[in-house]
Structures are given as C-alpha cells and as structure tokens.
C-alpha cells in the first residue's frame, strides 16, 4: 500500500475506547482498516501511531481569512468591543490589496492545516465595490487545494440593504465563484430591513442553488430575533441541512419560553448553529456590569434538542480578537468551558463540534472508513477528551493520501533532586481513576 498507519485509535462514537487498528491507504482513499497487526508486509510509507488518536480532519466552519493577521493595523482595538473592531476594520479595508490578502490568508491557512484542520469555511467581506479580498481568496482556494478544502462565504459585513448596491455585490460575489451565501440581518438599520435581508438570501439561494451561512443575532440584544426568520424560511424553502447560522449570541439572552419555541423550529428546520466562543466570550457582555453575560449561544441545549452544532475559530489576530493561533482545539477548549460541557460524555460530544458536525453542514464526504477519502490526523494523545485538555500536536496530517504536515511534539524535562523527570502531562499509569 502507499501508506499504512499502525496501532492507531479511531475516533469512536459515544466516547467508548476502541481497539487499536492499522489503517491502509492507496492513492487518495482509505482501502483497509484492520485490527492492529493486520496490515503486515512492506508498504511505501509506514507511520507508527503507538496508540495515538487517529481522527478525521478538524473542520473550521467559521473564520474570516480576509481579516486575519491585521491586528494593530492601522491601530489596536483598545476598547476590545465589537463596534471598535468593525470601525478599525473599515479603516484597514481601505488599504487592502490582492497580495496583502493572499499573503496573510495563506499564512493563517498553513497554521490551521499544520494543526490538523482540513476543511475551512471562510467568510469574506463583499462590501467593497472592487471585491479585492474575494478575488484574492478565490485564487488562493485553487492554489492551496492540495492541502485544504477551502470554501468561501460572501459576507456583507456592512449590511446588504444598508450598504450601497449591497444586493448587486452579493450577486456579483456569487457569480465570481463564491461557494456559500452569507448575511448579517441584525446589523441592518431596521428590523424590517433585517427581515428583508433574510428573504433576499433565500431568493439568492434559489437563483444560484447555493447554501446559506449567515452571521445571525451576534448581539446581547434579546430583541434581536432574526434566527426565527431564518428557520421559517428554511422550512418554507425546503432547505433543511443547507443553512448555517453563526454566532446567534442573542440566544444567550432570550427568555426560556422563547428559547424553547426557537429550539423546536430550529430542529424542525435542520439549521446548523455555529458558536464562536473565542471571539464572543471577549466581545459580548460589554454593556453589562455584573452579572455579566457569557456571550455564547445555547450550545448545550441546542445539542440536547437535536440541533446540529459546530464550533468556529472566527478570528485569528484581527481587529476583533488580537489572540488566536488557528487551533480548532483552542476554540473547542473555550467552548467546553463557556458552555459548561465538562461532563465525560460531553467532552466526546464536543469533539464532534469541530469534526463531524461541521462536516455534515458542509455536505462533504467525511470520516475514517474504508472507501472514504484518505483525510485524517494523528494527534499526540489517546482520545478526544485528551485532545481538548492537552490541545496536542498534530503528529501527522494526511490529505488525499499525502502527508501534508507533521509536528514533532514538545518534550519537557524537569530537573529535581539530582535526576531528570520527563513530564508528559498524562495521568499516572495505574493511578485510581
Ligand atoms: Fe464571524
């Protein structure tokens, strides 16, 4: 075979540890999964996983690649608020060039790929008569196709009805080759404009046959209720499984009776919700004194109600969030803390929010199974809960059967009492559970 990974633990369902296996690849497909030792013989490339977790690739369903790595340009967002972020971005946007966007986005993609992300859905601001960022990212999508599946979402940062020629720019973005239709109804000047925007997105979906992935209710205003409009339109248009709503932080402020009703129609509609905990724990609650809201959508309740929930990175060193290193496990770690999903089963469930759940929303062929594309990652840990706790190195990243990234795990030694202690951050073998 072209590639064999020996002694790996597969991403189990429900958190049950599975027996180690050998995974065999020919060309760009997984052709064999056998109990450990089952793929003997000589193979072109052989990797010893030593019981490490072999996971399907991480998925980042929500990032803004046009804005990455612009932190401090032209100035820092000193208040740290969403609005200063938007105003700072409006200034920076004036100096965007084709090469500037490509260079920064390429760098951020390499960071993500090196840490195990194989599918990225990026919003790209189309409130620009020249669509500079979009043209740059469309090129990059092709140039980096060997290492990442990049999907672009036409994102009207300044609104569609509230921005000159907003509808024409959205149509032009789709005509140029954008994959998905974005939106931002809560940012329109009026409630009515927001509702009209949502209807327009579905009209555009009908015209183009494309899916929808909009920013929705990213505010602490409990009166911001565009998600119900999105759910209703999804049902009426028969677009179940093809609509994603990002952020939806207002859901954290709704009263429980309304939230209950909303959960029911979201489930019926088949809308995916993407939480972006890194940005939103920092940006929301800024008008509160104490108690201060957490600024995240109801991840745990949505998941329990049967709604498809995913976790995005959102920002990597941009005007909204100065931190970040493109690690989906960093984002997920924040999600389980903010969303209080630290139960044993909840940690395993949460891992699906950066793997199979966003993959389902993107409607891609996915998962470590015979016959599937040979896309996977071997993490330097034993299972998903450890992946969230340790945020370990992606030892090997394989895409279409090719080893596209590898990381040497760090090694820590502590010198004490005349000897050296190798620290692995693992629970002591044999210690009581
Ligand atoms: Fe976003």
Q: Is residue 284 part of a domain?
A: yes
317 secondary structure, DSSP code: S
The yes-or-no answer on residue 352 being catalytic is no
Q: Please check whether residues 14 and 124 belong to one and the same domain.
A: no
Check if the beta carbon of residue 351 is closer than 8 Å to that of residue 358. no
Smallest Cα–Cα separation from 234: which of 262, 261, 271?
271
Q: What are 123's strand-pairing partners?
A: 153
* Token output for 338: 């903010």
For the domain that residue 26 is a member of, what is the CATH number? 2.30.40.10
Q: At 412, is the pLDDT very low, low, confident or very high (cuts 50, 70, 90)?
A: very high
Q: Is residue 126 part of a domain?
A: yes
* Token output for 222: 């409990």
Q: Scanning the structure block, which residue is given the tokens 């759910």?
A: 231
- Residue 18 belongs to domain spanning: 3-56+367-412
Q: Using DSSP, state whether 90 is helix, strand or coil.
A: helix
Q: Is residue 421 part of a domain?
A: no
72-126 residue pLDDT tens: 999 999 999 988 998 999 999 999 999 999 999 999 999 999 999 999 999 999 9
Q: Please check whether residues 62 and 48 belong to one and the same domain.
A: no
Gap from CA of 274 to ligand 1 centroid (Å): 10
Q: Please check whether residues 114 and 170 belong to one and the same domain.
A: yes
Q: At 429, is the pLDDT very low, low, confident or very high (cuts 50, 70, 90)?
A: low
Q: Please check whether residues 121 and 52 belong to one and the same domain.
A: no
For the domain that residue 307 is a member of, what is the CATH number? 3.20.20.140
Which residue in 112, 188, 197, 218 is the catalytic one? Answer: 218
Domain count, the chain: 2
Gap from CA of 353 to ligand 1 centroid (Å): 16
Q: At 401, is the pLDDT very low, low, confident or very high (cuts 50, 70, 90)?
A: very high
Those residues whose C-beta lies under 8 Å from the C-beta of residue 116, and which sit 6 or more positions away, are 55, 57, 58, 328, 329, 377, 379, 394, 397, 405
Gap from CA of 73 to ligand 1 centroid (Å): 19
Q: Is residue 232 scored above 60 in pLDDT? A: yes
Q: Strands, DSSP E only, in 156-258?
A: 180-181, 211-216, 243-247
Q: Which residues of 35-74 are buried (b: 16+ CB within 10 A; e: fewer)?
A: eeeebeeebeeebebeebbbbbbbbbbbbbbbbbbbbeee
Gap from CA of 314 to ligand 1 centroid (Å): 5
Q: Which residues of 140-166 are buried (b: 16+ CB within 10 A; e: fewer)?
A: bbeebeebbbbbbbbbbbbbbbbbeeb
From residue 428, how far is each of 391, 393, 411, 424, 433 by CA, in Å? 19, 20, 17, 10, 10
Gap from CA of 167 to ligand 1 centroid (Å): 20
Q: Please check whether residues 44 and 66 belong to one and the same domain.
A: no
276-290 residue pLDDT tens: 999 999 999 999 999
Rounded to 5, what percent of the chain is helix, strand, coil?
Answer: 35, 25, 40
Q: Please check whether residues 236 and 169 belong to one and the same domain.
A: yes
Q: Please check whether residues 234 and 348 belong to one and the same domain.
A: yes
Q: Please check whether residues 26 and 111 belong to one and the same domain.
A: no
Q: Please check whether residues 67 and 209 belong to one and the same domain.
A: yes
Gap from CA of 155 to ligand 1 centroid (Å): 9
Q: Please check whether residues 33 and 179 belong to one and the same domain.
A: no
Check if the beta carbon of residue 73 is closer than 8 Å to that of residue 318. no
145-186 residue pLDDT tens: 999 999 999 999 999 999 999 999 999 999 999 999 999 999
339-359 residue pLDDT tens: 999 999 999 999 999 999 999
Gap from CA of 88 to ligand 1 centroid (Å): 15
Gap from CA of 10 to ligand 1 centroid (Å): 31
Smallest Cα–Cα separation from 213: which of 361, 70, 411, 323?
361
Instruction: Give CA–CA dist 64/89, Å, rounded.
Output: 12
Check if the beta carbon of residue 1 is closer than 8 Å to that of residue 43. yes
316-335 residue pLDDT tens: 999 999 999 999 999 999 99
383, 328, 228, 307 alpha-carbon torsion, rounded to 10°? -10
Gap from CA of 231 to ligand 1 centroid (Å): 19
Q: Please check whether residues 210 and 301 belong to one and the same domain.
A: yes
């Amino acid at each position: 075979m072209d590639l064999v990974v020996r002694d790996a633990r597969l991403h189990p369902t429900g958190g049950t540890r599975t027996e180690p296996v050998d995974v065999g690849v020919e060309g760009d497909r997984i052709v064999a999964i056998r109990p450990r030792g089952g793929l003997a013989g000589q193979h072109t490339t052989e990797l010893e996983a030593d019981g490490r977790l072999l996971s399907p690739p991480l998925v980042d369903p929500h990032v803004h690649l046009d804005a990455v790595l612009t932190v401090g340009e032209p100035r820092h967002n000193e208040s740290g608020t969403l609005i200063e972020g938007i105003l700072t971005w409006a200034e920076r946007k004036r100096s965007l060039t084709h090469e500037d966007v490509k260079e920064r986005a390429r760098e951020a993609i390499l960071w993500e790929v090196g840490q195990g992300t194989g599918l990225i859905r990026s919003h790209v601001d189309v409130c620009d008569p020249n669509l500079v960022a979009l043209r740059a990212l469309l090129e990059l999508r092709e140039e980096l196709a060997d290492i990442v599946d990049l999907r672009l979402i036409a994102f009207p940062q300044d609104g569609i009805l509230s921005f000159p020629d907003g509808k024409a720019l959205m149509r032009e973005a789709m005509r140029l080759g954008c994959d998905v239709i974005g939106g931002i109804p809560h940012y329109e000047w009026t409630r009515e404009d927001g509702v009209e925007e949502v209807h327009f997105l579905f009209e555009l979906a009908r015209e183009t046959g494309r899916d929808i992935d909009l920013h929705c209710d990213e505010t602490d205003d409990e009166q911001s209720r565009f998600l119900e409009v999105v759910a209703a339109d999804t049902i009426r248009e028969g677009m179940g499984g093809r609509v994603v709503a990002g952020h939806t932080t207002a859901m954290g402020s709704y009263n429980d009776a309304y939230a209950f009703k909303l959960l029911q129609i979201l489930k019926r509609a088949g809308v995916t919700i993407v939480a972006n905990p890194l940005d939103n724990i920092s940006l929301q609650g800024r008008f509160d004194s104490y108690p201060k809201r957490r600024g995240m959508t109801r991840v745990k309740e949505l998941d329990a109600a049967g709604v498809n929930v995913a976790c995005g990175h959102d920002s990597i060193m941009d005007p909204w969030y100065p931190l970040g290193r493109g690690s989906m496990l960093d984002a997920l770690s924040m999600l389980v803390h903010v969303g209080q999903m630290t139960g044993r089963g909840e940690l395993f469930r949460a891992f699906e929010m950066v793997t199979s759940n966003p993959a389902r929303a993107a409607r891609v062929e996915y998962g470590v199974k015979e016959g599937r594309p040979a896309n996977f990652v071997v993490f330097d840990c034993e299972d998903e809960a450890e992946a969230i706790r340790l945020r370990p190195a992606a030892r090997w990243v394989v895409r279409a059967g090719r080893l596209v990234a590898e990381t040497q795990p760090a090694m820590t030694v502590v010198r004490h009492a005349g000897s050296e202690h190798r620290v692995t951050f693992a629970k002591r073998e044999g210690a009581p559970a």
